[in-house]
Structure 1
Amino acid sequence: MATFVLLHGGWSGGWVWNEVARILRRAGHEVATPTLTGYGERTHLLRQDVTFSTLVDDVLGVLHYGEFTDVVLVAHSLNGPLGQAVAAHAPQQVARLVLLDAVMIEDGQRTVDAFDSAFTAGIQAWVDAAGQGWFVPRIEPEAGSIDDREARGRHTAMPWLPYLEPVSLPPVTLPRTYVLCTEKSGSPEDTAILAAARRAREAGWTVQDLASGHVPMWTSPAALAELLEAQVTSA
């Protein structure tokens, strides 16, 4: 059996993984779904001094205090670079890194560098206008959408400044998989994700497609859990 540590994306929390975690646990795996500082049920910790290192330490703490080894670390969406950083900082504990429809960066880049500069400027303008210059306000899903039905009001504001920090990414040799959700709408986020998948393939990662929208934890939890379990046998 394996140990999975599942990292959520923007505006979210560990709760987004609930159904996938249930499936994996029923199969006998150990699963941790940490919520990062300032997100989800930890939204009361949203402060201007939350840094990228804060988020890295969140996950390293889970690995340390859980005494986890041979971890399959999965990072979704905006927090792909966080998964990259944790894998680089804890090579003795992380056995495989999986980026799930996530952005990806190179050593010294910022998370926002994965996106088109005009898109990032638009988010910054929103942050300046409604987030005091340092947090991203909570999103309101379209009524009746899958996000609306599944989130049920649980989206929160999120820290912004960590994603403006350059990230140190020492080389790693562990197995790496990129999972590309194939149902795309042509959004700026999709453009960044497709670019990440291309870079992963060029860098020799295993790249796998998943017939799903951007949040397969909601739309295809069983298929996602099966794909994640397959990473154990291929590690």
Structure 2
Amino acid sequence: MKLNSIRLTALLFATVLLGALTAHAVDKLTFVVVHGATAGGWEWKKAGGFLTADGHTVYRATLTGLGERMHLNSPDIDLQTHINDVVNLILFEDLHDVVLTGHSYGGMVITGVMDRVPDRIKHVVFLDAAVPDDGMAVRDMFGGQSPQGPNFADGFMLVPWVKPGDKPPHSVKHSIKTFNQPVSYKNPAALALPVTYVAFVPKYESGEERAKTDKSWQRAVARGWTIRTFPGHHVAHQEDPRGVATLIEQSVNDVNKPIATSAAK
């Protein structure tokens, strides 16, 4: 009887352990992270490292002309070039159930990716990112004018904070064409994807104040997306990479809220 009891206990333990391991395995995700303007995949090395340490697969995309691909830089690079970068990464790596994450300008890029390959995407996270309507360009978020001023010249947004002789990684000048080309966001399957919008809110600002002026936040609310906030500046992923990595992981279970038909149009 004692031997049977030991065997039963061992069997129950093995069953529970197997169940736990199986559940743990299901939680392992595939992340594709898209950086913001002038940056590169390097900017997400620490946050991506935490995601990898948690057992996930992480692809840190670097858009054409930026980061380690700066040798390809050209004023002819447009938004569609960058959308193609990420779409082709997903297709050629044969990725499915992707958690597509974009920061800042990366929101424009992932919007186009959503429209192109919604069947490959599990969840989308906009991290302090641009949320455009269909047919909108970055310039439309700033009065409809093409970027102008001393930091814009020869078809590029310049990076004056990078000094000659600075060692990589660092920001790289960014083609203005990417800011002037509109994005497509009308694929019904893309519109139905679950999405989380995260606002990085510094200590001197409240979420309530931000919600009143942040047009991207307002569009996210109108679409029924989940809204989250995270304490920090626009580059919170560099200030607190562990915290941002955890936030992204938690966001995957967010679901969209139902919206009225009139609001969806």
Do Structure 1 and Structure 2 share a fold, with TM-score over 0.5? yes
Q: 1:8 aligns with which of 21, 35, 40?
A: 35
Q: 1:114 and 1:48 mapped to 2: Cα distance?
A: 21
- After superposition, the CA RMSD in angstroms is 2.5
CA distance in 1, matches of 2:212, 2:78: 23
Corresponding residue for residue 179 of structure 2: 163
* 2:184 counterpart of 1:197: no
| Residues in 2 aligned to 1:68 and 1:153: alpha-carbon distance in whole angstroms | 27
**Structure 1, unaligned runs of 5 or more:** 143-150
Paired with 2:105 and 2:78, the residues of 1 have a C-alpha distance of 15
Larger radius of gyration: 2
Matches within 5 A, 1:36-185: 36-116=63-143, 123-126=147-150, 131-132=153-154, 134-140=155-161, 154-171=170-187, 172-183=191-202
In the TM superposition, residue 104 of structure 1 has moved relative to its aligned partner by 1.4
Q: Secondary structure in 1 aligned to 2:161?
A: coil
Structure 2 letter corresponding to 1:160: I
> Are 1:31 and 2:26 counterparts?
no
Match in the other structure for 2:236: 216
Is the CA contact (8 Å cut-off) linking 1:48 and 1:159 kept in structure 2?
A: yes
AA aligned opposite 1:180 = A
Cα displacement (A) at 1:195: 1.9
- What is the SS of the residue equivalent to 2:88? helix
Summarize deviations over 1:141-184 as a string: whole Å, max 9, x none: 79xxxxxxxx9761111111121012211142110110011117
> Percent sequence identity over matched residues?
30
Following superposition, the deviation at residue 127 of structure 1 comes to 5.7
In structure 2, runs of 5+ residues without a counterpart are 1-27, 256-265
Q: Deviations over 1:46-98 (max 9, x none)?
A: 11221211111100111011111000111101221111110111111111111
Task: Note if contact 1:115-1:192 (Cα within 8 Å) is conserved in structure 2.
Answer: no
Residues 191/36 of structure 1: CA separation in 2 closer, same or farther (3 Å cut): farther
How many angstroms apart in 1 are the aligned matches of 2:233 and 2:97?
29
What corresponds to 2:252 in structure 1?
Answer: 232
Structure 1 residue 5 displacement after superposition: 0.5
Q: CA deviation at 1:226?
A: 0.7
- What is the CA distance between 1:202 and its match in structure 2? 2.1
Q: Which has the higher contact order (CA 8 A, sep 6+)?
A: 1
Any conservation in 2 of the 1:104–1:196 contact (CA below 8 Å)? Answer: yes
Contact kept in structure 2, 1:11 and 1:139, CA below 8 Å: no
**Structure 1 residues 191 and 231: CA distance shift in structure 2, 3 A:** closer
Matched letter for residue 234 of structure 2 = H
Q: Give yes or no for contact 2:96–2:121 (8 Å, CA) kept in 1.
A: yes
Distance 1:96 1:115 in 2: 28
Size of the alignment, in residue pairs? 218
Query: What code does the residue aligned with 2:41 have?
Result: G
